[in-house]
Homo-oligomer: A and B are copies of this chain.
Amino acid sequence: MITLAVDCMGGDHGPRVTLAACRQFLDSHSDAQLLLVGRAESLQSFAHPRATVVGASEVVGMDDPVEVALRKKKDSSMRVAIQQVKDGIAQAAVSAGNTGALMAVSRYLLKTLEGIDRPAIATQMPNEKGGATTVLDLGANVDCTPEHLLQFAVMGTALVSALNESASGGEPSVGLLNIGEEAIKGNETIKRAGELLRAAGEAKALNFYGNVEGNDIYKGPVDIVVCDGFVGNVALKASEGVASMIVGGLKSEFKRNIFTKFAAIMAYPVLSALMKRMDHRRYNGAALLGLRGLVFKSHGSADAIAFEHALNRAYDAARNNLLDRVRARIATAAPLLVPAVAAPAAGTTGSPE
């Protein structure tokens, strides 16, 4: 039996969305049970033999500063859900609450795994090959060192292996996000990260493909794209911006007049097939990697279908022992990770080659 702790109060919509998703999830997973964490009065109407309400009197707001979530709201649904993982009662926690708070509380309660300096946020993006590219970090870390990027590669490999998402079927491939064609290819951090990843590849600790560029996230030559959290966050949001501009543009063009409205009716099945294929809800559920426990983050604006996907991902990760796999990967890569971390910091301002 897999047990997930669900922060039912988090996200833009709270129990209205999370409970609907929990119902769907329970119906399709007969070997799962849920701990519904939140205010009892909001959750007690939910009756299911495999669901238990766990009371938590506070809610971390979407705009609450990290300090409030960490130091003030000690009985928040977010925190209590993560506590279930720490106490070994649940195998994973899922929350649609604010990212900064979720990362901080998870890190505070669960601590990072040995060999990992900083946890990372990993998510999936659909790619042209019809599969998904896993990208990390998405904003948990800014100013990453080359060693951090190597750790991300190791954790990302464990994630994709656990969720069986390598497009090739073999060892998942890792690309280092870089810039092309320009005079100086990458900064000093990226150059050094490339060396570390190449060494890890040669030592068979991971399957390093080489450098990739921003568009490769969507082209899909690799299973995993590793990058600094600042860069990853900007890339993800820029992508969302373009997609929403195109979709918005399509809608407004189709609404222009009676003829275009008729065209819209004709084109509807085609457009909806495309939207389904690229539906971002199918990719909801980012993993917080590098912690001594599994935590998944849903988009704050997730609807019930999207939140259910986040639950599914947490369930798959728990079922496939993601945590053990990450630990095993780190152990394998330890000879590479440890000296690298112990060596004098190859900072971002290193001397030119």
Which A residues are closer than 8 A to B by beta carbons?
66, 98-101, 103-104, 126-128, 139-140, 142-143, 177, 179, 181-184, 186-188, 190, 213-219, 227, 229-231, 233-246, 248-250, 253-254, 256, 259-260, 262-264, 266-267, 269-271, 273-274, 277-278, 347-349
B230-A213 in contact (CB<8A): no
Q: How far is A256 from B272 in the complex, measured between Cα atoms in Å?
A: 13
B233-A182 in contact (CB<8A): yes
Q: How far is A219 from B241 in the complex, measured between Cα atoms in Å?
A: 7
29 A-B pairs (CB sep. < 8 Å): A101-B183, A128-B249, A139-B182, A142-B179, A177-B234, A179-B233, A182-B229, A213-B233, A213-B237, A214-B239, A215-B240, A217-B238, A218-B238, A218-B242, A218-B244, A219-B241, A219-B245, A227-B234, A236-B238, A238-B239, A239-B239, A246-B274, A250-B270, A250-B274, A254-B270, A259-B269, A263-B270, A264-B270, A347-B349
| Overall SS of chain A's interface | helix
Contacts of A271 in B (CB 8 A): 250, 253
Chain B minimum-CB-distance residue to A128? B245
B100-A183 in contact (CB<8A): yes
B241-A238 in contact (CB<8A): no
B179-A229 in contact (CB<8A): yes
Chain B minimum-CB-distance residue to A183? B100
Question: A215-B241, A253-B274 are contacts. A348–B143 as well, Cβ < 8 Å?
Answer: yes
Q: Which of B142, B234, B266 contacts A266 (CB 8 A)?
A: B266
Contacts of A101 in B (CB 8 A): 183
B103-A183 in contact (CB<8A): yes
Q: Which of B143, B186, B218, B241 contacts A214 (CB 8 A)?
A: B241
A214-B231 in contact (CB<8A): no
A270-B246 in contact (CB<8A): no
Q: How far is A104 from B263 in the complex, measured between Cα atoms in Å?
A: 50
Contacts of A267 in B (CB 8 A): 263-264, 266-267, 270
* A-B contact sample (8 more), CB < 8 A, given A100-B181, A142-B184, A253-B270: A142-B179, A179-B230, A179-B233, A215-B240, A218-B241, A230-B231, A250-B270, A264-B267
Contacts of A254 in B (CB 8 A): 270
B235-A186 in contact (CB<8A): no
Contacts of A235 in B (CB 8 A): 214, 234-235, 238
Contacts of A230 in B (CB 8 A): 179, 186-187, 190, 231
Q: How far is A230 from B187 in the complex, measured between Cα atoms in Å?
A: 8
Question: A139-B182, A140-B182, A253-B273 are contacts. A237–B214 as well, Cβ < 8 Å?
Answer: yes
Q: How far is A212 from B179 in the complex, measured between Cα atoms in Å?
A: 22
